[in-house]
Amino acid sequence: MLNSSVRRPEPLLAATFAILIAVGTGLLCLPAAQAEDRVGVLDALFTATSAVCVTGLITVDTATAWSRFGQTVILVLIQLGGLGIMTFGVIAAEVLRLRVSFAALAASRGALFEHQLRGDLRSRLHRLLLLVLLVELFGFGLIHRGLESGAAPHGGRFEAAFLTVSAFCNAGFSIYSDNVAGLSSSPLIMGTLMALVIVGGLGYAVLLEVAGRAWNRLRGRGAGPVRWSLQTRVVLTGSALLIVAGAVTLFVFGIDEARGSPAARLGHAVFQSVSARTAGFNTVRIEALPVPSLLILIALMFVGGSPGSCAGGVKITTAAVWLARIGTRLTNREAVNIGGRQLPQDLVRRATLLLALAAVWNLVGIMVLSLSEEAGTRVRFEHVMFEQVSAFGTVGLSAGLTPLLSPVGKIWIMASMFVGRLGPLTVALAMLKPARERFAYPPERIMIG
């Protein structure tokens, strides 16, 4: 039974993340990883889970609780968790000329690209790693230059590398105690962080398509109109709409308690709109935001980024399919269409199931945290809701509740980060054994609505 489970891609993908978390926890428990040798096993496990799941929620300060070795471990966990340990495993096996199972290839393909993607997976992984390296090197150069100009009291190559990897992998971890609030006066650093977050959240299939089209244009090929795939069109359009809508609503409802100049407030609104889509950086105190602004951020965190990326949430494409399905049903049509293309019914059902599982998980999580953290007496209910959705969306924004979590709360948040990183549907498929229907019950209708 175990052998048959390992052969399926979903359990294999879940197992690789779990093993990486366990290894990371062991390394963070070493005295050399801790600055003052005072971090407990549960906090080390929480940090490793948050890093591997590229979330960014922390129970101890990354800047002061960990030594340079511990911070390096976190950096490596973020990079491995962001790209997926299966990706590095497949390429390492190829370099060593080892056989790679079909389940491992399927897990890598499912984690990084859409399942219908054609072409050689290995060649695409090579191009992907090269693209990621180039983007991160470019981002590192800009952030390092901004830090050298005096944007932070202490900022060198390691700080620049940490912020670059954390931004591109949408992790939200910061090497500074105030996250990136102290860097908000540097347009170069903030602009670079936002660009890395957006690029990292587009999805690797989209990145490869955009990079390929740009490369062809530079070489003088494909001078005619560009025909983007439906995946790319939905992701780019949806990302732009969410960023703009989020920034405008945050600006209107209030983005900072100090109520600074309109230009400063707009800058914070744009940055938080970008960051809420699973990056987790913050330039303002989230716990001080008004309730409408918190609800806007919760909605952005729940949707998240693009499939096949470092981003979490239910994904833009899932939300787009769900909205298209609602429009189809309201107009009494059968076929679900997006962008001049008809979607397969199994894809529509999968999107609906994913949204339902995500909604149920978060509702249960809100109830669990409300009981364990005594919502309404010890903490505010909207902060409990915010923390739950932030963990599930692997965002990392916190309303100040995470450092105060009880042991039960920490365990549940870790579970939410793990489920959110893999996807509730993937976790369900990994836990449940597929069964064949041997008979059908007689049909009968019931009243709904």
Q: Which of the two residues, 154 and 109, has the higher pLDDT score?
A: 154
pLDDT score at 366: 95
Q: Give φ, ψ of 436 to 5 degrees.
A: -100, 140
Look at residue 4 and tell me whether its pLDDT is greater than 50.
no
163-200 residues labelled b (16+ CB within 10 A) or e (exposed): bbbbbbbbbbbbbbeebbbbbbebeebbebbbbbbbbb
How many angstroms separate the CA atoms of 336 and 321, rounded? 8
Distances (CA, A) of 188 to 19, 147, 227: 37, 9, 33
Calculate what percentage of the chain has a pLDDT beyond 70. 82
Q: Which residue intervals of 201-315 are DSSP H helices? A: 204-218, 230-253, 262-275, 291-303
Task: Evaluate if residue 385 carries a pLDDT over 50.
Answer: yes
- What is the distance between the alpha carbons of residues 64 and 140, in angstroms, rounded to a whole number? 23
Predicted local distance difference test score (pLDDT) of residue 211 = 82
What pLDDT score was predicted for residue 358? 92
pTM: 0.86
Asked if pLDDT for residue 336 goes beyond 60, the answer is yes
pLDDT given at position 361: 94
Q: Are 232 and 210 in contact (CB under 8 A)?
A: yes
Partnered with residue 107 across adjacent β-strands are none
Q: Mean per-residue pLDDT for 369-379? A: 86
Angle in degrees, CA 162, 165, 167, rounded to 5: 100
Query: Helix 345-372 vs helix 407-422: angle between axes, to the nearest 10 degrees?
Result: 170
Residue 183 has pLDDT above 50, yes or no: yes
Mean pLDDT for 225-240 is 87
Is the pLDDT score of 140 beyond 80? yes
Q: What is the DSSP string of 151-213?
A: ISSS--HHHHHHHHHHHHTT----SSTTTTGGGTT-HHHHHHHHHHHHHHTS-HHHHHHHHHH
Least confident of 49-58, 205-214, 282-291, 411-420: 205-214
> What is the identity of the amino acid at 272?
Q
For the CA atoms of 360, 445, 337, 355, the dihedral, rounded to the nearest 10 degrees, stands at 0
Percent of the chain with pLDDT over 90: 42
- Paired with 337 in beta bridges are 342
Q: Are the C-beta atoms of 281 and 205 separated by less than 8 Å?
A: no
Mean pLDDT value across the chain = 83
At residue 388, what is the residue type?
Q
Q: What is the pLDDT of residues 184-208, one digit of tens each?
A: 888 999 999 999 999 988 887 788 8
Residue 208 in tokens: 């490869």
Specify the higher pLDDT residue, 358 or 263.
358
